[in-house]
Amino acid sequence: VQSRLPQVGTTIFTVMSALAQETGAVNLGQGFPDFDCDPALPAQVAAAMQEGLNQYPPMAGVAPLRERVAAKIEALYGHRYDAGTEITITAGATQAILTAVLCCVHPGDEVIVLEPCYDSYAPNIELAGGTVVRVPLQPGSFRPDFTRIAAALSPKTRLMIVNSPHNPSATVWTRAEMQQLAELLAPTQTLLISDEVYEHMVFDGQPHISAASIPALAARTFVVSSFGKTYHVTGWKVGYVAAPAVLSAEFRKVHQFNVFTVNTPVQHALARYMADPAPYRELPAFYQRKRDLFREGLAQTRLKPLHTQGSYFQLVDYSAVSSLPEGEFCLWLTREMGVAAIPLSAFYAGGFEQGLARLCFAKRDDTLQEALRRLQRL
Ligand code: PMP
Ligand code: GLN
């Protein structure tokens, strides 16, 4: 078969998790919690199943969950989406992003991504026949470089994808930066995907600035989030997209012939669980404590942690330990030191080398402590 994605292999997350399992390394590579979710959540799934909520749900998702999502976005970001026409429940953020790309990108269109970026964006654009236009984030700070973004915009730019809090750099955009993006896009026809899967993981009192909270952006944006991150259930693969009715209508045309719809009892369980905002309101403090514990431990190693403003990732500079390229360093760290990590170069098309590795701190305290003990031997 002639490959549609000839450059693509197995994702780095799958590769490193498999290696961690094979070698018994502490897995700080792939981003997922090693602790379980609130038991109230699976109890709600079981209840929904026993109530007979087991057949196809409406194509866009069950109404109570769409209502909850709309209410949450309004409460946190001040923008009211219509639950009937503007919220769609998806099979995780991954499907939401692919579907958003497929519904608006035509062959030959340009799509701007900011590098380093999540590994699914570029293949999604290529599957749609689009051209990936890569604009680097500012080296070191990983903040958006608006001069370079402005230079990359062209009449062919159909779409741009942004992600804050950012995987892998843990940078959180400010309101001023989101507003600057809105001003830059104002004279264009460019649509936006705002990947906000880490929206509830922001630290030190900094707010998450959703594209939904800036009217000029909300009008052109697919806002994407994931229940997997927020409720510690990455394996459930349920997320959502919020977008103006005209965009949501196009999104649903593709969605209905892609997955059609998403697991019914899980949607009802999430809707009931979301009645209480405490779990997501408490998430920043929950992860900030883990971040601080992890960073205090890293201070006792020869790894140098960069900033962590949001997400559950920590970049570390390993130049005091090794001059290996990032991919080889992460393999060595996994095999020889027993800690799996992700090379930052995996988030760049050209494999740009900066001597940085990504570690995930969404782990039990004892897991983090065991990893730190091993890293202190470096
Ligand atoms: N975007 C980013 C930035 C992510 O880190 C992830 C999770 N790895 C996703 C999208 C995909 O989320 P989901 O698991 O809900 O598909
Ligand atoms: N988003 C997770 C990460 O960045 C992994 C998701 C995946 O394995 N595709 O580590």
Q: Which two tokens stand for residue 258?
A: 């892609």
Q: Tell me the DSSP string of 249-296.
A: HHHHHHHTTTT-S--HHHHHHHHHHTT--HHHHSHHHHHHHHHHHHHH
Distance CA 193, CA 141 (A): 22
Distance CA 273, CA 370 (A): 33
- Ligand 2 within 6 A of CB of 18: no
Listed in sequence order, the residues at least 6 apart from 3 whose beta carbon sits closer than 8 Å to its beta carbon are none
Q: Which two tokens stand for residue 352?
A: 């740009």
Burial class (CB in 10 A: 0-12, 13-18, 19+), 293: middle
Q: How big is the chain by its Cα radius of gyration, in Å?
A: 20
Distance CA 374, CA 166 (A): 27
pLDDT at 351: 82
Among 13, 17, 124, 197, name the best residue to mutate to test ligand 1's pocket (greatest count of ligand atoms within 8 A of Cβ). 197
Distance CA 377, CA 373 (A): 7
pLDDT at 94: 98
CA 329 to centroid of ligand 2, rounded, Å? 19
Nearest CA-CA partner of 83 in 57, 56, 61, 55? 61
pLDDT at 80: 98
Residue 71 CA from chain centroid, whole number? 22
pLDDT tens-place values along the chain, 378 residues long:
999 999 899 999 999 999 999 999 999 999 999 999 999 999 999 999 999 999 999 999 999 999 999 999 999 999 999 999 999 999 999 999 999 999 999 999 999 999 999 999 999 999 999 999 999 999 999 999 999 999 999 999 999 999 999 999 999 999 999 999 999 999 999 999 999 999 999 999 999 999 999 999 999 999 999 999 999 999 999 999 999 999 999 999 999 999 999 999 999 999 999 999 999 999 999 999 999 999 999 999 999 999 999 999 999 999 999 999 999 999 999 999 999 999 999 999 988 999 999 999 999 999 999 999 999 999
The reply to whether omega before 168 is within 30° of 0 (cis) is: yes
Q: Which ligand is nearest to the CA of 14?
A: 2
Q: Tell me the DSSP string of 353-369.
A: --SEEEEE--S-HHHHH
Protein residue whose Cα sits closest to atom 5 of ligand 1: 167
Distance CA 274, CA 295 (A): 31
Distance CA 301, CA 376 (A): 5
CB contact at 8 A, 247 and 236: no
CB contact at 8 A, 193 and 159: yes
CA 25 to centroid of ligand 1, rounded, Å? 23
Q: Which ligand is nearest to the CA of 28?
A: 2
Angle between helices 365-375 and 283-298 (to 10 degrees): 20
ipTM of the complex: 0.97
Domains along the chain with CATH numbers: 12-30+282-375 (3.90.1150.10), 40-277 (3.40.640.10)
Q: Which ligand is nearest to the CA of 12?
A: 2
pTM above 0.90, yes or no: yes
